[in-house]
Structure 1
Amino acid sequence: MFLQAELESMKVALEKLSEAPADQLDEQDKIWARDVRELSYDIEDSIDTFVVWGKGNEQAKGFRKYIDRSLDLLTRFRLRRKIATEIRDIKRSVVEVSDRRERYKIDSVVAQPVKINVDPRLLAQYTNAAELVGIDEVIKILVERKEAYRQQDKIVSIVGFGGLGKTTLANAIYQKLRAQFDCSAFVSVTQNPEMDKLFQDLFYQLAKRNNSRINVIDEISEFLQSKRYFIVLDDIWDISVWKMIRCALPDNICGYRVITTTRILNVAEQVGGAYKLKPLCLHNSRILLYRRIFGNEDKVKCPDEQLADVSNRILRKCAGVPLAIITIASLLSSKGGNKIEWFKVYNSIGTALENSLDVKNMRRILLLSYYDLPSHLRTCLLYLSVFPEDYEISKDRLIWMWIAEGFIQCENQGESLFDLGESYFSELINRSIIQPSYQGYSVMIEHCRVHDMVHDLICSLANEENFVTILNDVYQSSASTMVRRLSLQNSKIDQDVPWTTISIQQVRSIVAFQPAVNLMPTNQFRVLRVLELQNCQILQLCSLKHIANLFHLRYLGLRKTCIAQLPEEIGNLQFLQTLDVSENGLSSLPLTFVRLRRLMCLRIDIRTRAPKGIRNLTSLEELSMLCIDDSTDIVEELGHLTELRILDIVCRTGHNNSLQKSLLECLCKLWKMNPSLLLNLSFLSIAVRKLLQEDLEILGRLSALRFLNLVVDHRNLGILGKFFFGAGSFPCLIECDLKGFIGLVVFELGAMPRLESVCFPIDVQETIEIADGSGCFNLGLQNLPSLQHITIYFHRGGSSKGDVEQAQAALRQATEIHSNRPTLKICL
């Protein structure tokens, strides 16, 4: 009782103290907060340890259970003495801290979090380049410069202060021009690049395949020798890095364009074609501010007259820096139209960027938004410092790590931890603290990035609070620090972690991004909750058998780590919530795996066989990727996993009707447990042999569906005929990918009003046959008012080269007459 009560008091005290910016606290308060924070960690660790000791071996049966109980009686006295000693030590520490300061007097409590969805007004800022404020004129200047055929204009280096929008501008130009080139690539360089990985990524984007030679520079150079190419190199800090990359970029006769971005003028001048990016003018600053707060219209005049004066004052302090304006706008939007609150924000900014564009003043603006966050969101944001600069962070991976750390706590019984975590993620996006990241034309937010200035800020704060310790090529943490969370970011494969020189007994998280992890002293990690080794080569370097002794472990990430099997001892991890062993090619999971009763997320490969008894994992919310074939005997067991939100299965049942029927009955049982599931379905990827028009109409009534990937086998079955997307169908669909159809696909007026990207197949002969005398043809593409991207899978059959060219011309003309002038990609 003492530990629990003391911990609650400490947490409330720390939350209250954290509401004030660090620069407004005196040194005594900071020292006291540091001591209390470390004590709260120790108490949490002790409580967890007591829980593990109290559980014992719950899974043991028969003679094994008798032996375990006997051993428990023999060791209970020793454990009680150890527990009593720890409690006495903690009490002594609490008294020492309280003697230096009056104890934990708090007048208010922090409001409970509410579930948040992503603000739809924000998404356009990251998806639609046409809506980026003040960027059109700059794009025009740079495009005209790049269209000049002088040697010195083939390279442009955009230089400017952090937050001015260099990356946004470079990406807008990239999206505008990339279709004019044979190949293209957009690569983030960052301050401490891993050059081998950078070159591999560059080659993959250019060639659409992995490199096959050790010398990637030569392979890139040879590949580009006969190609017209366009490359963007974002965020270069060191001219030596540019010189190395330049060796891979040949001056060929086909032509090329290169854009670089940097904060350093000297680097830009040496790269060549330096373009100094200027801050936004007051006119465009107002548009950006009011658009974020009041909606997407280009408002120059403040919609609320009483806020006009204070908004102009705020904008002058932001000095035309887009990141500062967006950050402040997100803060103001949470204040409503309260003039007093707006003036409080204005007074908090100080001189900010009005007098000088420097990092210190930009940090002051970012800190305003940081301290405006509720305490639970500040904790979640600081955790992002475990990821390297410019790292693309998976939303689901991040949320499961938050859950494992205990950052997400549900107040109401039955509430989903993951759903609450998603609302935290959405709130950070809404406040422009993190940026959504999209893949291809997809509009689903599955990843995020942290702006480099925000990343610098949270890394600094995490270090000050001893929240995360980062070890990389540049920075080594102090050996005297009690490490709580450890991020390994060494890029050299032979770089050993100095386990013997840092205090690691209280480490709660280890997240590794280096090529290999040397032998970890797992016997010293008493309270480890998160172990994330994704993409690390741990074969012969770490013993998975010893990992099973990490009894506090909640999250184990072993994706793409070259492991051959999991040890039987994995069943000892009674508190494990997330297990990711995908992309390793494991043939099976150990039988003891079914003991993991608290497991919520399981990710395996298609070829990995799950053991019988998976029905016991009743806490599972995500299960992927599970293969169902004729030899599978767990179909019936799936019906007991009633908490599933995500079930990713591959069916290879052939003509086994009995197995197919059992699987359908199982899925229906799951659906009955949550009948509202399909009403909120936003992502659907489905493959069926045969689809009828009425089936398509049923799918069209999924009112929340945003992404549809529909694969049929009509070509092999010889099913002809048109398929119509009727008026009112798929009202929220944004992305549609159709494969396997051999009949025409027609879009009627009123169908898919929000569709932005569509992919579908068509035959060359059909295209020619339905084209009218002018060479045009009508599939109803003009009825899709939001269309931006079209991809056609062309089946040429026995058509001649002339027929193919005629069909392609008809498709291009149909695209050109669309009011949006969508992009067209034809895949032969």
Structure 2
Amino acid sequence: MLQLVRRNAFGRMKRFRMHDIIRELAVDLCQNYRFGVKSEDYICGGTLHRDGRRLVVHKLKKDIHHSFSSIHGLRTFITLDKSMPPLTLLPLISENSRYMTVLELTGLPIEKIPDAIGDLFNLRHLGLRDSKVRYLPKSIEKLLNLLTLDLCRSDIHELPRGIVKLKKLRHLFAEKETVSGRDFGLSSGVCIPIGLGNLTNLQTLQALEVQDESIKQLVELRQLRSLKICNVKGIYCEHLHESLVQMPFLSYLYVGASDKNEVLMLNTLPTSLQKLRLNGRLPEGTLSRGSTLFQGVEQNMYSLRLSWSQLREDPLPSLSQLVNLTVLHFFRAYNGEKLTFLTGWFPNLKHLSLRDMPNLKRLEIKLGAMATLESFTLGSLNSMAEVPPGLEFLMPLQYLGFFQITRDFLKLLYQCPQLVCTQWQHTLRDDDDDDDR
């Protein structure tokens, strides 16, 4: 009854299409239980239905602020209307809907959270993503039942001390807008005061601006499944290593250095790790043949993204041990002149991106390498003077792109017989418009 539309790079089900019969049944249930209906259907005579438990506001045409005084049983409030005036909404909800469990205000131009938010003692989910909130009130420490706190892309840079009292908290999203581009990319998060180790039930922590105290307490978070940390300095790596080996369930890890000269000294990874992203310089020998970094994760690792690694040795022989890798991205990761994909390497790879490696002159692909590749992107490889030999072995591809290339290299692409019957995209270094072929 649910039809599969798309899988992700790992082969997991990502998107479904609902069968018509199921959709009609879902709409009927929503109407019966007053869930997910449009605001104009939910509001009768300017007053909310008093028996309503769940309210999803979409394209609001009337002011419902005064109507909250008549509804005390509301458990879930979700707004999809980004233009809704928020000035008096939160105080009304806090005063009249004390048993609220889900409060989702993503995208609203809220700048301040009232102290009364602490009265929602039953709250499980608080969503302030893409808001203008700059700080959380001290009363947030009263939300002892809170499971999810979503502050992603808000203006909050530091959490109040009382946040460490929320011992049931499982998911904390606080990543800021990522600054990326040709310069060193920086992701930022929030600073957590002394007591991070009290949040022992955390499963998701994205993103933490590590400091001397927080990096030491990270070892207590042994239930983590997803961890993203920023502002990492070389002196923190020993504590980070001690923490990672104590996380048996960790599947996603992002480590971002404080600047491009800081060296990320990582020796081993949790055997459960599936997705790894490192943004920062790696020491010599990290990805040599004798490296122990990926020991124990050869079968589990599905996605690897290396940025600003500045490696001198060829990393491919070491990475070829990751037989189930489906995503591989290099951005300023390699300073050498040659990369060769040998026969049998990366048998399950689907997405490959090689960008900003100015010294790379030759990229060679042997028959039988990357046999399942679907997407291949090359960008800003300024020293490359020939179309990669063996590119024809990858055809046909669902996507092929060449970005920030010279006009001379573009002429070589047009003359390449392997690309005559293939769709591909490109952009030029002089900022010409994109062309398709």
Shared fold (TM-score greater than 0.5)? yes
Shift of 1:746: 2.5
Residue 234 of structure 2 corresponds to residue 650 of structure 1:
no
Match of 1:635 in 2: 215
State how far apart, in whole Å, the 2-side matches of 1:442 and 1:793 are. 26
Q: What CA RMSD, in Å, does the superposition of the two structures yield over aligned residues?
A: 3.3
**Superposition map of 1:657-668 within 5 A:** 657-668=234-245
Q: CA deviation at 1:709?
A: 2.5
- Which residue pairs with 1:722 in the alignment? 338
- CA, structure 1 residues 665+783, in 2 after alignment: closer, same or farther (shift >3 Å)? farther
Give the distance between the partners of 2:383 and 2:162, measured in 1 at CA.
58
**Which whole-Å CA distance do the structure 2 matches of 1:812 and 1:671 have between them?**
50
> Which residue does 1:560 correspond to in 2?
130
Determine the C-alpha separation between the residues in 1 that align with 2:67 and 2:302: 49
Q: Could you list the per-position Cα deviations for residues 237-281 of structure 1 after superposition, in whole angstroms to 9, with x for gaps in the alignment?
A: xxxxxxxxxxxxxxxxxxxxxxxxxxxxxxxxxxxxxxxxxxxxx
Q: Number of residues paired by the alignment? A: 365
Q: Give the Å deviation of 1:600.
A: 1.1
1:818/1:696 CA distance change after superposition, 3 Å? same
Equivalents in 2 of 1:544, 1:820: separation in Å? 62
CA distance in 2, matches of 1:572, 1:765: 59
Q: What displacement does 1:652 show? A: 4.6
Give the TM-score, by structure 2 length: 0.73
Question: Per the alignment, do residues 827 and 682 of structure 1 end up closer, same or farther by CA in structure 2, a change over 3 Å counting?
Answer: farther
- The offset of 1:480, in angstroms, is 4.7
Classify 1:529/1:581 alpha carbon distance in 2 versus 1 (closer, same or farther; 3 Å): same
What's 1:782 paired with? 392
SS at 1:599 equivalent: coil
Residue identity matched to 2:238:
K
Query: Which among 187, 204, 208 is matched to residue 622 of structure 1?
Result: 204
Distance 1:502 1:524 in 2: 6
1:158-173 equivalences under 5 Å are none
Q: 1:535 — aligned with what?
A: 107
**Which residue in the other structure is 1:497 paired with?**
64
Q: Do structure 1's residue 700 and structure 2's residue 320 form an aligned pair?
A: yes
Aligned AA for 2:117? I
**Once the 2 structures are TM-superposed, how far is the Cα of residue 559 of structure 1 from its aligned partner?**
0.5
Alignment partner of 1:512 is 2:79: yes
In structure 1, C-alpha distance between the alignment counterparts of 2:337 and 2:159, rounded to whole Å: 46
- Offset at residue 707 of structure 1 (A): 2.2
In structure 2, which of residues 362, 373, 386 is the aligned counterpart of residue 755 of structure 1?
373
Q: Secondary structure at the match of 1:817?
A: helix
Once the two structures are superposed, residues 32-79 of structure 1 have per-residue CA deviations (whole angstroms, 9 ceiling, x without a partner) of xxxxxxxxxxxxxxxxxxxxxxxxxxxxxxxxxxxxxxxxxxxxxxxx
Query: Would the aligned equivalents of 1:575 and 1:598 in 2 still touch at CA under 8 Å?
Result: yes
Q: State the alpha-carbon separation in 1 of the partners of residues 39 and 5 from structure 2.
A: 24
Which stretch shifts more, 722-731 or 454-463? 454-463
CA contact (8 A) 1:589 1:609 kept: yes
Contact 1:437 1:449 in 2 (8 A): no
Secondary structure at the residue paired with 1:547?
Answer: helix
- 2-structure distance, mates of 1:523, 1:784: 62
Matched, 1:596 2:166: yes
Aligned partners of 1:486, 1:720: CA distance in 2, in Å?
A: 57
* Residue 69 (structure 2) pairs with residue 459 (structure 1): no
Pairing of 1:339-358 with structure 2 (within 5 A): none
* TM-aligned CA deviation for residue 467 of structure 1: 5.0
Question: Which residue number in structure 2 is paired with residue 612 of structure 1?
Answer: 194
Please state if 1:676 is matched with 2:272: yes
| Match status 1:740 vs 2:308 | no
Aligned partners of 1:452 and 1:825: how far apart in 2? Answer: 41
Pair 1:644–1:779, CA change in 2 (3 A): farther
CA separation of 1:499/1:726 partners in 2, compared to 1, >3 Å: closer, same or farther?
farther
Aligned residues of 1:479 and 1:501 also touching (Cα < 8 A): yes
How is 1:135-146 mapped onto 2 (pairs within 5 angstroms)? none
CA contact (8 A) 1:734 1:754 kept: yes
Alpha-carbon shift at residue 692 of structure 1 (Å): 5.1
Q: CA deviation at 1:660?
A: 3.0
Return the alpha-carbon distance in structure 2 between the equivalents of residues 672 and 504 of structure 1. Answer: 42
For residues 322-373 of structure 1, the C-alpha deviation after alignment (integer angstroms, 9 at most, x for no partner) is xxxxxxxxxxxxxxxxxxxxxxxxxxxxxxxxxxxxxxxxxxxxxxx4xxxx
Q: How far has the Cα of 1:723 moved from its partner?
A: 1.3
Q: 1: CA distance between counterparts of 2:137 and 2:13?
A: 35
Per-residue deviation, 1:710: 2.5
Indicate the SS of the match to 2:220.
coil
Which segments of 5 or more consecutive residues in structure 1 lack a partner in the other structure? 1-368, 370-430, 771-776, 797-803
Aligned-partner Cα distance in 2 for 1:554–1:722: 53
- 1:555, 1:578 within 8 Å by CA — same for their partners in 2? yes
Aligned residue identity for 1:808: L
Q: 1:720 Cα deviation (Å)?
A: 3.1
Paired residues of 1:435 and 1:450 also in contact (CA < 8 A) = no
Question: Any idea what the Cα deviations from partners look like across 1:388-438, whole Å, max 9, x if unmatched?
Answer: xxxxxxxxxxxxxxxxxxxxxxxxxxxxxxxxxxxxxxxxxxx22x75598
State the percentage of identical aligned residues: 25
Q: Name the structure with the higher strand share.
A: 2
Letter in 2 for 1:663: L
CA gap 1:649/1:448 in 2 versus in 1, 3 angstroms: farther
Structure 1 or 2, whichever has the larger Rg, is: 1
Counterpart in the other structure of 1:488: 57
Q: Relative to total residues, which structure has the larger helix share, 1 or 2?
A: 1
In the aligned structure 2, how far is the partner of 1:561 from the partner of 1:588? 15
Secondary structure of 1:783's counterpart equals helix
Tell me, in whole angstroms, the C-alpha distance in 2 between the residues paired with 1:549 and 1:622. Answer: 25
1:795 to partner: Cα distance: 5.1
Aligned to 1:723, what secondary structure does the other structure show?
Answer: strand
Alignment of 1:314-333 (within 5 A): none
Partner of 1:791: 401
What is the deviation of 1:694?
A: 5.4
Partner residue of 1:686 out of 288, 294, 306: 306
C-alpha contact (below 8 Å) 1:791/1:827 kept by paired residues: no
Q: What is the Cα deviation at residue 739 of structure 1?
A: 2.4
Structure 1 counterpart of 2:345, one-letter code: S
